[in-house]
Structure 1
Amino acid sequence: MQVQVKKIPVVAEDESSLRSATPPGKLEWSLAALVGIVVAAAIYGSVAFHYFNPPAGYFFSGAVQFDQQYYMVLARAVFDFGNGLVYSNPFSLHPTEFYYSHLFILGLGWLYQLTKIDISVLFHAAGVVFTVTTFVSLFAFVASIETSRKWRTWMFLFCALGGGAGWLSAVLTRTREMAVGAPLTDMSENALNALLQRGEWLDSISQSSIFPNEAYYHTIMFIGLALLAKKRIGSFAICLAVMWWSHPFYGVELTAIVCTLVLLTCVSSPANTFATIKRYSICAVPALMGLGYYLGFLNTVPEHRDLVELWKTFNCKVTLKSYPAHYHVFLLLPPLLVLSNRSRARWLLHSEDGRFLTAFVLAVFALMNHNWLLPPTQPAHFSRGYLLVGLILLSFKLLQQLPKASLPGKFFSSNVVLACWLLFTIPDNVIGIYKWAFNLTGYHPVTTKATSWMPAELAAVRDYLQSTKEKAPLIASKLQFQYMEQYLMRTTGSRCYLSHVATPSFAERTADMIRYMGGNDPGFLDRYDVDYLLMDAKDESHHINDPRIKLVVRGKDFAFYKVLPVKS
């Protein structure tokens, strides 16, 4: 006698009936592009404003944050200190050994080589393009796991425009101040501080688009996730290779996601373990090549090893106390919905979408908090909005499984409720973009403004260096002028003794410069073969009488000197 076993669906019929399978149409793709255009206009419209409206006595450097100059300097190094495919560290005293190759930097370097347009202009133009492609690829990712037009649209809008609840913390702070009669503090600053907590500082996709390179990484990441969700493994492997070539952190992250997905798939279907591993095995090729390059080849370069040890000392940990401000409702919905219904718990592991999103969230969360078990390597950099995206998608996929006739089902499927909810999540992004791109007081207000506004007299230094046509002259200065040095590196192709934490032997160089500035290292200039000095205009006692030093440009805060060669 045959016994028929009735299969129990992971999602009941009345729950899944909320969905109506509709392929994405032109209107939806246009909406995704439009959102990208609006965000790009807000960010890069602010950047353009700075070019034409600098404070009196200053000009805009072309960067809204200190690390942006670093990427521009690297782009110039693609040909100044490289061969167009591999380049050296331009912050090295002897940038002759080619060992770096990153796709975004290569593309920017080639554009500069072909057009000779200011790299900052090219950098921000790339930001406009990749901001739009970020949101289009984000929609492609959402569409790969959601067939309902209604839910697909709302999920995309939340992922694209949603942010944290730091603004709510700022409102509560202001309310307390008014209640006790305390001095009122800056609300936008309080909103940003609620999110920072010395940890994650770009918790949403919109805010990450402030940085062109991040927008590029997001574009590749979401394309890869869409391909992975559609099980186009060969194409995904190519995308994974591009990701590794672009940035090691993102390469690790995308690799971790696919590895977690394979693990969960094997757990849910043990009988198909071999077939599953075989199907995804091609992904090991780009992952091993990436690991071989970063952990193998680059570790043979002493200067790179020195930098890695320095970078490990940076405190970029995500603090748990900042999680409510970052993820608010989306931090609670998935566990509540899963724990309250057994079928939804089964859905996480036994449905393709549930398994995929579970792998996505678990992998990102683990990397963001790997300092719990492993030596920390800037764990906060593994989010950049990905955890928020994962939690949003997981929340909405679980909400769809609420019975349609139930009060919660009606409530969360209401367009009015969803619109109000979306509006609740947007203010942090508005504040973040305003603080970073327009007000120039983001993560580190002092250094952010210092790297954005260059003293007007520095233009004369730039013009002088360009007129000499010297090949990579070496400029030495106090660390306080590092952003001015980076600007000169970008615009003149010069080298700098100490201008960024990417400088090999950073601590040693800093100590040497301090000794020289104190008049305790007379052999400094000859030992490092310095061509120019960029010094504090008010601190000349140690070198003003040196006959080898000739004043070239004097600014309000700095003095630029030429170091004359030793007479034979």
Structure 2
Amino acid sequence: MDGEKSTSLKWLWCIVLALPSLLPLAMHFHFANSADEFGTGFIQNDQPYYMANAREHFDAGKISLTYKNPNDWRRDSPRIYFQPQTLFLGFVQKFTGADPALIFAIFGFVFAVLTVRVAWSLLLEFVPRADDSWFANLAMFIWGGGLFAVAGLATMLIAPQSDLALYDYLTMYDPFQGWWFLNLGRNLVFPMEAWYHFLFLGGALMLARGKHFAAIAIGLLISISHPFTGVEFLAIMTAWLFLERIFWQQKSTSWISIAASLVLLVLHVGYYQVWLGTFPTHRELHEVWELAWELKAVDMILGYGLVAAFAFWTCRSSTQSASFLSQSKHRLLVVWFAVAFLLANHEFFMKSVQPLHFTRGYVWMPLFLIGASSLQRLTQYFNDRGPFKYATWVLVLLMLLDNATWLSVCSIDGRHNSAHSKTDFRAVMAVLNEAPRETTNEKLVVVSNSRLLSYLATTYTPHDAFCGHGYLTPDVQQSERKVSALISGGAFIESLDGYPQLVVLDFNGPSVDTKTAAETKNRLRTCYEENGYEVAELESSDSFAVFQCTPAVSRQQLGNSDEN
């Protein structure tokens, strides 16, 4: 009975520690309501894309294990992508019919709690629970950060600027205003990151416990879940296993485990860098993804300096270092940090491909775990000396300050919410879903002056977007210009000739409003009819209008034309 009570209490603490991850979502709806807008439930621009991928498994009229890019409207866009979590989310959405944002949020919070639980076990591997101060260390592991807020506040005091508010100072040094998540806890805000971190920490826990083949199985799951996290974990695991056997002469590390880990790493790189590259559609996007999103020296100092100080103190002398490195699981932390740090700064030895993707707390976490024993000894020292007892709380506050202030910024400043709509997007999506199709698996191309509505159509409807996600739409800038020319000047989009289309006019979007709505409607109708399309107005309201534009040529003729 006591064991059951202890287990229940432990899970309760995990839920409590995961709860702050829901604050940005709650404030997303708060700001939408206060601005008389519609909140989509997706707090950042990339998030709807994952649920769009999920429904792609079923949008062909039958289940498909692979999916295509829903932001690529072309008929020949290949089904070459697969992630297990995407397939699972597709199943849930297909058979429940629930709102995609709700499914995504529940998925995210479940794995946020599970990530906290695995992090709890991982921390116990390196710092056994000694007294109640251990829970402070756990809280710092989950929600600890760096010195970004301190640096921002110092700047506000030393060199204030009249055009900056408090929340501007708090995140002014944090990459992407704090939205790149250089430590663990903040990653729990994004559902997919919660999933990746659950797997990564689970794999690290298995390695620390010497369960190599369990870690390899988890490595396979990470590999097929995400390219960046996959290569990072597999590189860490392979390097550590190899060094354990060759350099440290650990017979418990088998050659089979080394070979299996290496094969996974080679297959991972082969799939993402070689095989996918044989498809022109993927190469187009890959060229767009090769962005120089890099950490600056000041970012690393402020982001990692606090935990690095404790890690340094743990290995402050040759004797201390030798003692620390005498344990295999401690050597794992050193390899983990070294590989993650090199990947996060790979622009120094290869072409830069979004090095920031390799941060996401993966550099911060091993530094924290290396210094965790020193951190615990310091908190115990404070607690054992009455007058210094409150110094523990000062230390905890300092460690938590970055994430505490960032979450507060989410509560003060609604600018981070990129998926608010002044138009009732659910009403638009209902019309698009009810649009008549010749077959149940027919996909129409959504064209809209609202990038958000066009993008959300891939998440809420079976249709594809002509101009959706900025980094996933082929030649997105040219597509934007074509949409603008269509809406404002009636210039037909030649590349869509022969494609059945749904044209959405958002009167709260660019190039059209309620005053020019009638003129724009007539111009669109004339444009499509002159190019051999039948035009039907499906819906018209004070804020939007939807037209279905169907090519007069039959679907059979189109199929024959494609074959020729």
| TM-score normalized with structure 1 length | 0.82
User: 1:478-531 CA distances to partner (integer Å, 9 max, x unpaired)?
Assistant: 4xx222212222222221111112123445534544554574954527526251
Counterpart Cα distance in 1 of 2:358 and 2:480: 30
> What is the deviation of 1:204?
2.0
Q: Secondary structure at the match of 1:76?
A: helix
CA distance in 2, matches of 1:518, 1:115: 40
Q: Using a 3 Å threshold, how does the CA distance of structure 1 residues 158 and 95 change in structure 2: closer, same or farther?
A: farther
| Partners of 1:264 and 1:355 within 8 A in 2 | no
Alignment partner of 2:423 out of 435, 455, 459: 455
For residue 197 of structure 2, what is the amino acid of its counterpart? H
Distance in structure 1 (CA, Å) of the matches to 2:242 and 2:111: 32
Shift of 1:31: 6.3
Instruction: Tell me, yes or no, if structure 1 residue 210 matches structure 2 residue 179.
Output: no
Indicate the residue corresponding to 1:477 in structure 2: 448
| Residue among 50, 63, 69 paired with 1:71 | 50
Paired residue for 2:558? none
Partner of 1:5: none
Structure 2 gaps of 5+ residues are: 506-510, 530-534, 555-564
Q: Measure, in 1, the Cα distance between the counterparts of 2:305 and 2:6.
A: 28
Deviation at 1:435, TM superposition (A): 3.9
Residues 1:242 and 2:218 aligned together: no
For the 8 Å contact 1:205–1:384, the answer to whether it is kept is yes
Give SS of 2:547's match.
Answer: strand
TM-score (norm 2): 0.82
Q: Is the 8 A contact 2:174 2:299 kept in 1?
A: yes
What aligned pairs does 1:72-471 form with structure 2 within 5 A after superposition? 72-81=51-60, 83-93=63-73, 94=75, 97-150=78-131, 153-176=135-158, 183=162, 185-196=164-175, 201-266=180-245, 268-269=247-248, 277-312=255-290, 314-335=291-312, 337-338=314-315, 340-397=316-373, 416-436=390-410, 439-442=413-416, 448-449=417-418, 451-456=419-424, 458-470=425-437, 471=442
- Following TM superposition, by how much is the alpha carbon of 1:49 offset from its aligned partner in structure 2, in angstroms? 6.2
Is 1:166–1:195's contact at 8 Å kept on the other side of the alignment? yes
Report the AA paired with residue 342 of structure 1. Answer: S
Q: What letter matches 1:242 in structure 2? A: L
The one-letter amino acid paired with 1:477 is S
Q: Is the 8 A contact 1:210 1:436 kept in 2?
A: no
Structure 1: distance between partners of 2:540 and 2:235: 53
Q: Deviations over 1:262-305 (max 9, x none)?
A: 34425643x55896544433323433333332234322222112
Secondary structure at the residue paired with 2:446?
Answer: strand
- 2:548 matched to which residue of 1? 562
8 Å CA contact 2:18–2:116 kept in 1: the answer is no
Q: Any residues of structure 2 matched to 1:19-30 within 5 Å, and which?
A: none
1:308 offset after TM fit, Å?
0.9
Partner SS state of residue 499, structure 1: coil
CA distance in 1, matches of 2:542, 2:182: 39
Distance 1:241 1:425 in 2: 34
Please list, as runs of the form range in 1=range in 2, the aligned pairs for 1:471-510 lying within 5 A after superposition. Answer: 471-478=442-449, 481-500=450-469, 501-510=471-480
Whether the aligned pair in 1 keeps the contact of 2:444 and 2:501 (CA below 8 Å) is yes
CA contact (8 A) 1:475 1:530 kept: no
CA distance in 2, matches of 1:141, 1:465: 47
Shift in alpha-carbon separation, 1:516–1:547, aligned structure 2, 3 A? closer
Of all paired residues, the percent bearing the same amino acid is 21
The DSSP-based 3-state class of the residue aligned with 2:474 is: coil
- Give deviations 1:3-58, integer Å, cap 9, x for gaps: xxxxxxxxxxxxxxxxxxxxxx8788666634442344333365356558624542
Q: CA RMSD in A?
A: 3.5
Amino acid at match of 2:187: S
* Residue 416 (structure 1) shift: 4.7
- Contact conserved, 2:142 with 2:184, CA < 8 A, in 1? yes
Contact 1:553-1:560 within 8 A present in 2 as well: yes
Please name the residue that 1:445 is paired with. none
Contact 1:473–1:495, Cα closer than 8 Å, also in 2: yes
Structure 1 stretch displaced more, 303-312 or 323-332: 323-332
The alignment partner of 2:415 has SS state of coil
- Determine helix, strand or coil for the equivalent of 1:234: helix
State the distance in 2 between where 1:525 and 1:289 align: 36
